Chains A and B, each alone.
Chain A
Amino acid sequence: MKYGFVIDHRRCIGCHACTVACKSENEVPLGSYRTWVKYVEQGQYPDTSRSFAVLRCNHCENAPCVTICPVTALFKRDNGIVDFDGRRCIGCKACMQACPYDALYINPFTNTAEKCNFCAHRVELGLQPACVVVCPEQAIIAGDLDNPLSKISSLIASENTQVRKPEAQTLPKLYYIETSSAALKPVEQTHSGGYIWAEQKPDPIRDDQEAMFQAETKARTTYDVAHDRPWGWKVSAYLFTKSVSAGAFIVAALALTLSQTMNRWLFDVAAPIVALAFLAVTTALLVLDLKRPERFLSILFRPQWKSWLVLGGYTLLAFGGVVSIWLGAYVLEIDLIRPPLMWLGVILAALTAGYSAFLFRQARGRVFWNSPLVLPHLLVQSLIAGAAGLLIVAMGRSLLIGAPMEPASLNFLTYELLGSLIAHGVFISGELFSSDESIERHRTIRLITHGIFRKMFLRGAILIGLAAPIAAVAGALFLPEPLASYLVLTASFLSLLGVFCWEHTWVQAGQAVPLS
């Protein structure tokens, strides 16, 4: 038993009955849609055509929303239906990033994720989904793909079908018969002309993109529904604070390993405190970004082990625990356990900094995030953030209490910062000059370098956040104190700003290309 849909666009007349019947059956709130009809137009008068595309969850065989969901709120039934359980959902919105088809939304009343679930509550009773029943043209065919005698199987066997974004390797179980392929490919559409009988929600990111890639436009979208970009500043901020936390520990461990003469206060005390403080902020941001923050503990107590939100959550927990014990051991002078704990801590810190690469890779809808450079780049960013953070602490302390820090520690941190900044530059170049063929990735890069994210990227991440601190640190090497220290302090602040700007650019631009 494997349920799937065929949408037969030889029959579909674009009447929206499916949308309304679905809203009625499932009481879907205004502004949210489990199924909707897109209109696209092509050609010049009088050879103008209009195509419809009924869009919804594809009930993927290989459903990325199920893989990324940390709490098994999304799950696949034995009959192939990808269903959800609102009682479990914590509102992390990761599923919205994982789905390459814009199928999910957050219900504003329950603050939990929902989508087409094939009317599983009806299927359970032997009834067709509401959209199938209402359709005047019987253009929506729901049935068992495993049964060769079913109508759906015979249609798939006898007609040419398409699926949306086969390259996402989700193995959709929704097959389209005869619609314009441009109607299924958001990157070939432009919304700039406005809609036939509805307003467009303002979307400067889309507008900018469409203006830049006019040449790739094959169709004019004349009716569509709006989809939010689910992750905002809190996610960028969480990446940033996590970098500081992990980086502070890694940098301290490196320092302590390299030399016995390093400043004990800075690396044994301040660094773990910084790590723990930023870890706390990271956790707070993570929780606050949930639409159901009170259900946060479900990540730990109802884990779905394939989700990097779960693995990440445990990583953060473990990292926090190890750092706390390591710090505690210093205070209580239990030196014996400190070295092994430190190395365990380094591994966990690296995981803390880097696990997001695996999480963002699970966001299959967002092609830009799916790059092999993300993991090492996140590590490099955490090294910048750690060094810069500790430099600020060290110099801040010197300024406050007037006692200068010994040069060895400062030099170590300064060189470490310089090296990481240079590596950061290399990785950014790697991300932006990659030869990836994917159109989504190509577009995202252009939006960063020439489009709506250019200002934040070029000014924030590159000029102020990368070039300026490199120049400042380099300058400090040749200048006397206290000018050198001030330059390094400035460079530290700018580096942190630069890391945040890049991470924010990366998160925002990664969501820029429309999924549907």
Chain B
Amino acid sequence: MTLIDDDNPEELASQTLSNYPPVDQWEDWVEYDAKRWPEKVERHYSLVPTVCFNCEAACGLLAYVDKATGEIQKLEGNPLHPASRGRNCAKGPATINQVKDPERILYPLKRTGERGEGKWERTTWNEVLETLAQKIRTALKENRRTEVMYHVGRPGQDGYMDRVLQAWGVDGHNSHTNICSSSARLGYALWQGADRPSPDYANAKFMLLLSAHLETGHYFNPHAQRIIDAKMNGAKLAVVDPRLSNTASMADWWLSPWPGTEAAMLLAMARIILDEKLFDAEFVKRWVNWEEFLKIERPSLPCTFDTFIDELRILYSQFTPEFAADECGVEADKIVAIAREIGAAGSAFAAHIWRSAASGNLGGWQVARALMLLHVLTGSIGTKGGVSPNTWDKFVPAPHSKPQPQDVWSEVLWPIEYPLAHHEMSFLLPHLLKEGRGKVAAYFTRVYNPVWTNPDGMSWIEMLKDESRIELHAALTPVWSETALYADYILPMGLGPERHDLMSQETQASQWISFRQPVTRVARENKGEHIEFTYESNPGEVWEEDEFWIELSWRIDPDGELGIRRHFESPYRPGEKISVTEYYKWIFENSVPGLPEAAAKSGLAPLEYMRKHGAYMVKSGIYEQNEHSIPAHEREGSSVGTEGLVYADSPDGKKTIGLMMESEALRGFPTPSRKLEFYSKTMAEWKWPEHAIPGYVKSHVYWRDLDLGSGDFLLVPTFRLPTLIHTRSANAKWLYEISHTNPLWMNPVDAEKNGVENAQLVRVKTEIGYFVIRVWLTEGIRPGVVACSHHMGRWRVRQGEGTNRWASALVEIESLGKQKWRLRQLEGVAPFSSSDPDSNLLWWREAGVHQNLAFPVHPDPVSGMHCWHQRVRIVKTQDDDRYGDVMVDTNLSHQIYRQWLGKTRRAPGPDGLRRPLWFSRPVRPTRSAFNKE
């Protein structure tokens, strides 16, 4: 194994310094103590690879475990990781702050007062497990299998929890997807089946980002490396963002269209590509479902490709550069120039949208579809330098036992009004329960902080405090959170270097797996110690979740009568409880192609190989999978339909696995037509015929609807910083030292118009309340738009407990009656004494302002996405207003929920289904569960 480095060998040879210690010395690496230098004080380390658990990119880390103390000294990158290549963003090395956080929760806590009162006592894991097991067992025995809910913010693993939940037979997987990426997912899924893009930046000639991948996002560090690599090789970069992100600052073109008009701009680019014949006719003809479009929508026209192109030009004729310039507020010549660059890049055009415009706006899925139209026209799908469906570039190995899917459908997770949602309508939970749609017997929040993260957090507080709606709440979390305050049990779970997980992400045109490990445990095991459970080597009584779920599952079904236990039995020791080591050992030995052979070459068993290397490249250079023939073994029992579609013999029925082209069965794309679906029959059949093709939907914050002269603004409330990660980085002092406040970005032109000065406090009024924040005047934002990062405004309600003091303000949440609430900051950040002497040096005072509490829910009627952008009015503060005040009326928020609910078009769709069968659905239930009634 050699260190992964892009440098060419000639340069490497001339370098005298290397990036990492040689792998063969990782088990005993000697370094000089930096603090004692220039005295040469040797320290011996065991270097154990693991995976970062801050964002979801799964970058490799290399832990330096001090052999003398058994503690982690620092975390560098893992040079053997195929995506991160030994490099990290600021959040990687800051993991050590989280491990050594002086305010860590080290023991399981049990609530003693009322929910939310913040009174806790230490309890035992035994009590926790018994209580939860009894609650769940009772629910299962009474067939209340939608009342057990696992609500996850960051999965941080692939497939483990799906298996646990399906073993229990519950429909209870809830996620954060609908406050994150639903609209982009729907847009991509409608085109290509897979709901995510995998851009091959490294080989691109032109890149168009409706994202900020040089500072944040999935997958910041791996993608940022490849974007800059491409730039250095001569590729050009255009970035679309209403504010000057760091990414935009690195771009050749920064475009800041009015938020919500992005689709119009992209369609104008498509029109230029069509008009100037810059498109790849051969690709479009071969891979787009144009025949289906013509047959259904233009039955009177001849079904020829030329007709289709003519129709396309007619369909998008209104999107002239001049129209787009007027509609979007971007210079027409920039749009033309970029369209031509895209056309010239052809199959080496890579673009990305994940949140931003897609998650900000009503109809954001049309932005993603319009962007994909550019890919389709240029034939840059599945190509080198283009974009692939994410499923090609991600590898999830199968575990030793796979339970049957559950045959139950949760109406609370997948309400009937949102048949096309991607995915669970997670952020509506308080409203759905308020309407009496169900209750939750056992609610697990896991690395999830809805009170703070979701819109309308006060409704979450109201729900969580109501023990008739949420009977038992356990918060599984490595850190304090605003939501954990409303739990019955707070269960401390391991950080990145304190747990096992297997992860793969579509960071490039290859497939890899990476192995998160409890590094102190592995270091001790390397020394020959026997450790049965990870908590034995973790600080305090911090568990890892894998072991928790095994233990809990056994206790739910101790005698095996529920059929759960058998899925948690060892594949090596029949009838006995599986260990976490055995779980991964089996996977590495049986489910990862090539791994056993690669390990054997190094003289290692597969598990040993992964323990030592932390990552494995399964396959690289993955392109044009759509052109691949379906192998013979998969074709067994399949049949070919009238349209040339190849059907598998699956219990779902009608499941296509490919299509016939020139008498060959090709893989195609996982859509009903196995082609790229310009025309979505699904949209038409599921009551949205007007949106069957990519188009332009006016946003709920359409700028022409704003009263711009009277203090109305379009608020962009979601942008991330390169240093922080949502709600989990509060325990990283070095990250908060760099970034700790979130002023409201405003253009000086607007400030002048509205009589606002820099650093002035203003009231930002939303539909359900307001917040009070400081203005930051900047030339880096479009006039008419204000923006505020969502990272800040963390709070705690008691001194010395709750969200870390590096990051949070002490607040009082006061009921003003009739479901009106006020959050007020009592104290900002201040130095404090702790086991970390740095806490006395804390020099910043602001914790920022929380916004999301003041936002009502805006569920997109199609994708189910919470449409984040807000129409706000900015007014002067009133006498009593203080920095950080948030005022909310949850009655109003419920009314707004009802208004948006009114925009939906309910299931059932064709065949009485709750959801199109070809759509993905996390923790997919049986076919019969899809039937309404």
In the bound complex, do residue B841 and residue A193 qualify as a contact, i.e. CB atoms below 8 Å apart? Answer: no
| Chain B residues near A45 (CB-CB < 8 A) | 747, 749, 779-783
Is A149 an interface residue, CB under 8 A from the partner? yes
6 contacts between A and B (CB under 8 A): A48-B778, A120-B37, A127-B17, A127-B19, A130-B76, A199-B846
- Bound Cα distance A199, B215 (Å): 20
In the bound complex, do residue B841 and residue A151 qualify as a contact, i.e. CB atoms below 8 Å apart? Answer: no
In the bound complex, do residue B783 and residue A128 qualify as a contact, i.e. CB atoms below 8 Å apart? Answer: no
- Bound Cα distance A23, B6 (Å): 26
Is B842 an interface residue, CB under 8 A from the partner? yes
Is A143 an interface residue, CB under 8 A from the partner? yes
| Chain A residues near B737 (CB-CB < 8 A) | 30-31
In the bound complex, do residue A83 and residue B38 qualify as a contact, i.e. CB atoms below 8 Å apart? Answer: yes
Is B11 an interface residue, CB under 8 A from the partner? yes
In the bound complex, do residue A128 and residue B14 qualify as a contact, i.e. CB atoms below 8 Å apart? Answer: no
- Bound Cα distance A287, B75 (Å): 40
In the bound complex, do residue B15 and residue A151 qualify as a contact, i.e. CB atoms below 8 Å apart? Answer: yes
- Bound Cα distance A461, B759 (Å): 37
| Chain B residues near A11 (CB-CB < 8 A) | 228, 232
CB distance from B827 to the nearest CB of A (A): 16
Is B60 an interface residue, CB under 8 A from the partner? no
Is A302 an interface residue, CB under 8 A from the partner? no
Residue of B nearest to A48 (CB): B779
Q: 19 more A-B contacts (CB under 8 A) besides A14-B215, A16-B90, A20-B93?
A: A15-B224, A26-B34, A30-B838, A30-B841, A43-B779, A48-B779, A51-B249, A120-B38, A121-B37, A127-B18, A128-B17, A132-B19, A134-B77, A136-B225, A137-B224, A142-B17, A150-B14, A193-B776, A194-B759
Q: A10-B232, A198-B738 are in contact. Are A149 and B722 (CB under 8 A)?
A: no
Residue of A nearest to B255 (CB): A46
- Bound Cα distance A193, B267 (Å): 38
In the bound complex, do residue A20 and residue B77 qualify as a contact, i.e. CB atoms below 8 Å apart? Answer: no
Q: A13-B214, A14-B246 are in contact. Are A41 and B778 (CB under 8 A)?
A: yes
- Bound Cα distance A16, B215 (Å): 10
Is A17 an interface residue, CB under 8 A from the partner? yes
Residue of A nearest to B35 (CB): A27
Residue of B nearest to A144 (CB): B16
Q: A11-B228, A151-B11 are in contact. Are A197 and B721 (CB under 8 A)?
A: yes
Q: Which of B15, B19, B232 has the most CB of A within 10 A?
A: B15
Is A24 an interface residue, CB under 8 A from the partner? yes
| Chain A residues near B529 (CB-CB < 8 A) | none
CB distance from A59 to the nearest CB of B (A): 15
| Chain A residues near B96 (CB-CB < 8 A) | 24
Stretch at the interface among B81-89, B554-562, B813-821: B81-89
CB-contacts of B244-273 with A (<8 A): 244, 246-247, 249-250, 254, 256
CB distance from B229 to the nearest CB of A (A): 9
Q: Which of B6, B18, B722, B741 makes the CB contact (< 8 A) with A126? A: B18
Is A29 an interface residue, CB under 8 A from the partner? yes
Interface size range on B against A: 35 or more
In the bound complex, do residue B256 and residue A46 qualify as a contact, i.e. CB atoms below 8 Å apart? Answer: yes
| Chain B residues near A133 (CB-CB < 8 A) | 19-20, 76-77, 86-87
CB distance from A117 to the nearest CB of B (A): 8
In the bound complex, do residue A197 and residue B93 qualify as a contact, i.e. CB atoms below 8 Å apart? Answer: no
Is A169 an interface residue, CB under 8 A from the partner? no
- Bound Cα distance A123, B776 (Å): 43
| Chain B residues near A222 (CB-CB < 8 A) | 778
In the bound complex, do residue A31 and residue B777 qualify as a contact, i.e. CB atoms below 8 Å apart? Answer: no
CB distance from A107 to the nearest CB of B (A): 10
- Bound Cα distance A123, B16 (Å): 9
| Chain A residues near B31 (CB-CB < 8 A) | 121-122, 125
Q: Which of A49, A134, A147, A196 makes the CB contact (< 8 A) with B93? A: A134
CB distance from A188 to the nearest CB of B (A): 17
The contact string, 1 if C-beta is below 8 Å from chain B, for chain A 142-157, is 1110010111000000
In the bound complex, do residue B246 and residue A50 qualify as a contact, i.e. CB atoms below 8 Å apart? Answer: yes
Q: Which of A17, A135, A143 has the most CB of B within 10 A?
A: A17
Residue of A nearest to B62 (CB): A133
Is A216 an interface residue, CB under 8 A from the partner? no
Q: Which of B14, B39, B87, B88 makes the CB contact (< 8 A) with A151? A: B14
Q: Which of A13, A29, A119, A125 makes the CB contact (< 8 A) with B246? A: A13
Is B211 an interface residue, CB under 8 A from the partner? no
Residue of A nearest to B21 (CB): A127
| Chain A residues near B244 (CB-CB < 8 A) | 41, 48, 50
Q: Which of B737, B776, B781 has the most CB of A within 10 A?
A: B737
Interface residues of A (CB under 8 A from B): 10-11, 13-17, 19-21, 23-27, 29-31, 41, 43-46, 48-52, 83, 85, 87, 108-109, 117, 119-128, 130, 132-138, 142-144, 147, 149-151, 193-194, 196-199, 201, 220, 222
| Chain B residues near A199 (CB-CB < 8 A) | 740-741, 844-846
Residue of A nearest to B723 (CB): A16
Is B478 an interface residue, CB under 8 A from the partner? no
| Chain A residues near B410 (CB-CB < 8 A) | none
Q: Which of B215, B224, B231, B734 makes the CB contact (< 8 A) with A23? A: B734
Q: Which of B33, B90, B841 makes the CB contact (< 8 A) with A29? A: B841
In the bound complex, do residue B77 and residue A197 qualify as a contact, i.e. CB atoms below 8 Å apart? Answer: no
- Bound Cα distance A108, B254 (Å): 43
| Chain A residues near B845 (CB-CB < 8 A) | 199
The contact string, 1 if C-beta is below 8 Å from chain A, for chain B 41-63, is 00000000000000000000000
Residue of A nearest to B806 (CB): A30
- Bound Cα distance A57, B350 (Å): 39
- Bound Cα distance A83, B34 (Å): 12
| Chain A residues near B747 (CB-CB < 8 A) | 45
In the bound complex, do residue A31 and residue B778 qualify as a contact, i.e. CB atoms below 8 Å apart? Answer: no
Q: Which of A23, A125, A147, A193 makes the CB contact (< 8 A) with B32? A: A125
| Chain A residues near B900 (CB-CB < 8 A) | none
Residue of B nearest to A49 (CB): B249
In the bound complex, do residue B17 and residue A123 qualify as a contact, i.e. CB atoms below 8 Å apart? Answer: yes
Q: Which of A26, A109, A136 makes the CB contact (< 8 A) with B837? A: A109
In the bound complex, do residue B14 and residue A30 qualify as a contact, i.e. CB atoms below 8 Å apart? Answer: no
| Chain B residues near A29 (CB-CB < 8 A) | 837-838, 841
CB distance from B256 to the nearest CB of A (A): 6
| Chain A residues near B615 (CB-CB < 8 A) | none
In the bound complex, do residue A30 and residue B843 qualify as a contact, i.e. CB atoms below 8 Å apart? Answer: yes
- Bound Cα distance A120, B36 (Å): 12
- Bound Cα distance A20, B735 (Å): 8
In the bound complex, do residue B92 and residue A198 qualify as a contact, i.e. CB atoms below 8 Å apart? Answer: no
In the bound complex, do residue B32 and residue A149 qualify as a contact, i.e. CB atoms below 8 Å apart? Answer: no
- Bound Cα distance A16, B89 (Å): 7
- Bound Cα distance A149, B14 (Å): 6
Is B192 an interface residue, CB under 8 A from the partner? no
| Chain B residues near A25 (CB-CB < 8 A) | 34, 74
- Bound Cα distance A123, B40 (Å): 13
Q: Which of B34, B777, B782 has the most CB of A within 10 A?
A: B34
In the bound complex, do residue A24 and residue B75 qualify as a contact, i.e. CB atoms below 8 Å apart? Answer: yes
Is B739 an interface residue, CB under 8 A from the partner? yes
Is B915 an interface residue, CB under 8 A from the partner? no
CB distance from A318 to the nearest CB of B (A): 33
In the bound complex, do residue A197 and residue B740 qualify as a contact, i.e. CB atoms below 8 Å apart? Answer: yes
Q: Which of A15, A26, A50, A123 makes the CB contact (< 8 A) with B722? A: A15
| Chain B residues near A44 (CB-CB < 8 A) | 779
- Bound Cα distance A222, B224 (Å): 22
| Chain A residues near B34 (CB-CB < 8 A) | 25-27, 119, 121
Is B758 an interface residue, CB under 8 A from the partner? yes
| Chain B residues near A24 (CB-CB < 8 A) | 74-75, 93-94, 96, 734
CB distance from B527 to the nearest CB of A (A): 23
- Bound Cα distance A85, B38 (Å): 6
- Bound Cα distance A220, B748 (Å): 14
Is B183 an interface residue, CB under 8 A from the partner? no
**3 A-B pairs closest in CB distance:** A50-B249, A149-B14, A121-B32
| Chain A residues near B35 (CB-CB < 8 A) | 26-27
The contact string, 1 if C-beta is below 8 Å from chain A, for chain B 775-791, is 01111111100000100
Residue of B nearest to A30 (CB): B841
Residue of B nearest to A1 (CB): B16
Q: Which of A48, A83, A142 makes the CB contact (< 8 A) with B780? A: A48
